[in-house]
C-alpha cells in the first residue's frame, strides 16, 4: 500500500475496520468490496492546496521537468478491489514501503504528453487517446492493472482543467504531463503486483530549441543495445531508459549529443529517446521518408504516427516503415542521396541531425541552406505546431479540455 497524507495513512492503518474504511473518500469507491474495473472520472474528488506556488515566467527560458504545478492526480488499484475513486490532491512526495516492486524490479511505466493553449485561451491535448493506448499496453506488458483508457483520459482532462492557469499562453511553450503507474505491493518477491498507484504530475515547459533549431551529432552505438525482440522496446517503461545512461555518457565524451541505437545487423532503430526518420533518395531514384517498423523493439511514438499520417496524406514522396541499416545510410551519404535526418518525439517534436558517427567515421548530414534544419523537418515542425495550438485543422487531433 502507498501512504500519503496523515488522513490517508490513518485510512491505511484502519484498513481492516469496514465502518471507518467507508468514511475515507479515497476508498469510498471500494466500499462494496466489488471489483471495480473502471476509473470513474465523474466521481473525481478534489483537495485544493492551501499553499499555491508562485508560477514562473512563461517564456522560452522555461526549463524541462523542474517546476511542477500545485496539484497531482492519484488513483490507487488493488487486485481485489480494482480502481479507487480518482483524486486531485496537492503536489506531494510519495511515501513508499522499501519493498515495493517499483523500486526493486522496475515494475513501473509512464507516458509523456502535452497540453497547449490556443489563441482563444482554450486548452488542447494532442492525440491523447494514443497516449492512453500506449499507457494501457505498457501496463499490460508489466502485469500492472488493465488500464481503463477512457476513464484515465477523462481524469487527466479534469486534472488539466484544474491546472489551466499553469498552461503557458506563449507559442512554443506547453504543459508537460507525466502519467505514471507503479507497483506498490509490500512484498520483496518477483511477482505480478497486487497493488499499484497511478498518478499524474505536470510541469510547464518551454520549447526544446529555445533559440531555433539546433542540429545534433549522434553516435551509432555498436556495443550496447536499447531493445531486442520479445523485450520491452515497444513499451514506455523505466527499464528502457536507465541502461542508456552509460552509453550516453560515453558518447558525450566523444563529442556526440545523442546515441543512435542499432538492432540486428546494425539496423537503425531509435535515437536517444526519440524515433528516427531518414529522408533520402533511394538507389532507384525515388524520394523516400523511412523509419524503422514497429517490430516490438520500437516505441510507437505519437509524433512518429502523426508524421507518417501527414506525409502519406501529402503524397509527395514514398513513405516507408521498413528495416534499413547503417551500412545503407553510410552508402547513401557517400553517394549524396541523404536529404535530411531527424528525430521525432513529444519533447522536441522534430530534432534535426547534422552528423552520425559510425565505425570511426563521421557522416555529415545536410541540414538545409542555413545548416539548422532541412525543408521537410521545418515543414513537419510548423504543421504539427499549428495543430498543437489550434491554428490549423488539417487533422482532427486535438481534444479541448
SS (H, E, C) 336-394: CCEEEEEEEECCCEEEEEEEEEECCEEEECCCCCCCCCCHHHHHHHHHHHHHHCCCCCC
Residue 26 included in any domain: yes
Give the β-pairing of 216-221 and 349-358: parallel
Residue 131 included in any domain: yes
- Domain's final residue, options 205, 228, 253: 205
Mean per-residue pLDDT, 124-136 = 98
Cut 0.95: pTM above it:
no
Mean pLDDT of the chain: 92
- Of the candidates 56, 39, 48, 25, the one whose C-alpha atom is nearest the C-alpha of residue 163 is 48
Rounded to whole angstroms, the Cα distance separating 35 from 29 reads 10
Residues 6+ apart with CB under 8 A from 249: none
Contact (Cβ atoms closer than 8 angstroms) between residue 170 and residue 41: no
The residue segments making up the domain with residue 192 are: 6-205
| Domain identity same for 68 and 198 | yes
Which cell numbers in the block locate residue 21?
A: 474504511
| Domain identity same for 169 and 263 | no
Residue 1 included in any domain: no
Write down the pLDDT at residue 167.
Answer: 98
Rounded to whole angstroms, the Cα distance separating 273 from 276 reads 10
Write down the pLDDT at residue 172.
Answer: 95
| Domain identity same for 318 and 352 | yes
Rounded to whole angstroms, the Cα distance separating 145 from 260 reads 33
pLDDT digits (tens, 9 = 90+) for 338-383: 999 999 999 999 999 999 999 999 999 999 999 999 999 999 999 9
| Domain identity same for 279 and 323 | yes
Contact (Cβ atoms closer than 8 angstroms) between residue 280 and residue 288: yes
pLDDT digits (tens, 9 = 90+) for 234-244: 999 999 999 99
Give the β-pairing of 123-126 and 113-117: antiparallel
Mean per-residue pLDDT, 7-19 = 31
Q: How far is CA 128 from CA 141, 155, 170, in A?
A: 20, 12, 21
| Domain identity same for 244 and 385 | yes
pLDDT digits (tens, 9 = 90+) for 143-191: 999 999 999 999 999 999 999 999 999 999 999 999 999 999 999 999 9
- Domain's final residue, options 205, 235, 257: 205
What are the phi and psi torsion angles at 147 (to 5°)? Answer: -65, 135
Write down the pLDDT at residue 133.
Answer: 98
Confidence of residue 212 (pLDDT cuts 50, 70, 90): confident
Amino acid at each position: 500500500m502507498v501512504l500519503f497524507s496523515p488522513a490517508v495513512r490513518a485510512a491505511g492503518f484502519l484498513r481492516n475496520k469496514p465502518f471507518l474504511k467507508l468514511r475515507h473518500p479515497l476508498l469510498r469507491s471500494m466500499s462494496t468490496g466489488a471489483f471495480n474495473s473502471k476509473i470513474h472520472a465523474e466521481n473525481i474528488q478534489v483537495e485544493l492546496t492551501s499553499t499555491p506556488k508562485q508560477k514562473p515566467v512563461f517564456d522560452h527560458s522555461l526549463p524541462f521537468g523542474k517546476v511542477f504545478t500545485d496539484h497531482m492526480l492519484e488513483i490507487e488499484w488493488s487486485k481485489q478491489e480494482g480502481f479507487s475513486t480518482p483524486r486531485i490532491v496537492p503536489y506531494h512526495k510519495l511515501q513508499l514501503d522499501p519493498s515495493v516492486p517499483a523500486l526493486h524490479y522496475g515494475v513501473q511505466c509512464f507516458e509523456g504528453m502535452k497540453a497547449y493553449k490556443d489563441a482563444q485561451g482554450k486548452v488542447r491535448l494532442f492525440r491523447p487517446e494514443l497516449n492512453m493506448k500506449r499507457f494501457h499496453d505498457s501496463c499490460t506488458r508489466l502485469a500492472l492493472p488493465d488500464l481503463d483508457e477512457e476513464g484515465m483520459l477523462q481524469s487527466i482532462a479534469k486534472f488539466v482543467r484544474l491546472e489551466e492557469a499553469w498552461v503557458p499562453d506563449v507559442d512554443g511553450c506547453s504543459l508537460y504531463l507525466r502519467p505514471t503507474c507503479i507497483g506498490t505491493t509490500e512484498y520483496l518477491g518477483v511477482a505480478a503486483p497486487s497493488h499499484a498507484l497511478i498518478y499524474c504530475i505536470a510541469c510547464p515547459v518551454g520549447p526544446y530549441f529555445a533559440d531555433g533549431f539546433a542540429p545534433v551529432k549522434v553516435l551509432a552505438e555498436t556495443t550496447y543495445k536499447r531493445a531486442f525482440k520479445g523485450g520491452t522496446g515497444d513499451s514506455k517503461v523505466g527499464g528502457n531508459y536507465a541502461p542508456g545512461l552509460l552509453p550516453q555518457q560515453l558518447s558525450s565524451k566523444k563529442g556526440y549529443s545523442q546515441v543512435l541505437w542499432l538492432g540486428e545487423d546494425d539496423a537503425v532503430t531509435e535515437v536517444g529517446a526519440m524515433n528516427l526518420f531518414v529522408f533520402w533518395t533511394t538507389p532507384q531514384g525515388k524520394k523516400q521518408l523511412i523509419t524503422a517498423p514497429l517490430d516490438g523493439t520500437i516505441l510507437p511514438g505519437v509524433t512518429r504516427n502523426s508524421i507518417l499520417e501527414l506525409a502519406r496524406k501529402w503524397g509527395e514522396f514514398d513513405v516507408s516503415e521498413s528495416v534499413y541499416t547503417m551500412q545503407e545510410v553510410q552508402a547513401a551519404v557517400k553517394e549524396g542521396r541523404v536529404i535530411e535526418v531527424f528525430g521525432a518525439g513529444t519533447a522536441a517534436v522534430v530534432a534535426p541531425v547534422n552528423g552520425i558517427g559510425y565505425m570511426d567515421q563521421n557522416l555529415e548530414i545536410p541540414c538545409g541552406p542555413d545548416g539548422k534544419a532541412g525543408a521537410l523537418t521545418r515543414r513537419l515542425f510548423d504543421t504539427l505546431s499549428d495543430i498543437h495550438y489550434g491554428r490549423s485543422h488539417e487533422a482532427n487531433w486535438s481534444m479541448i479540455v
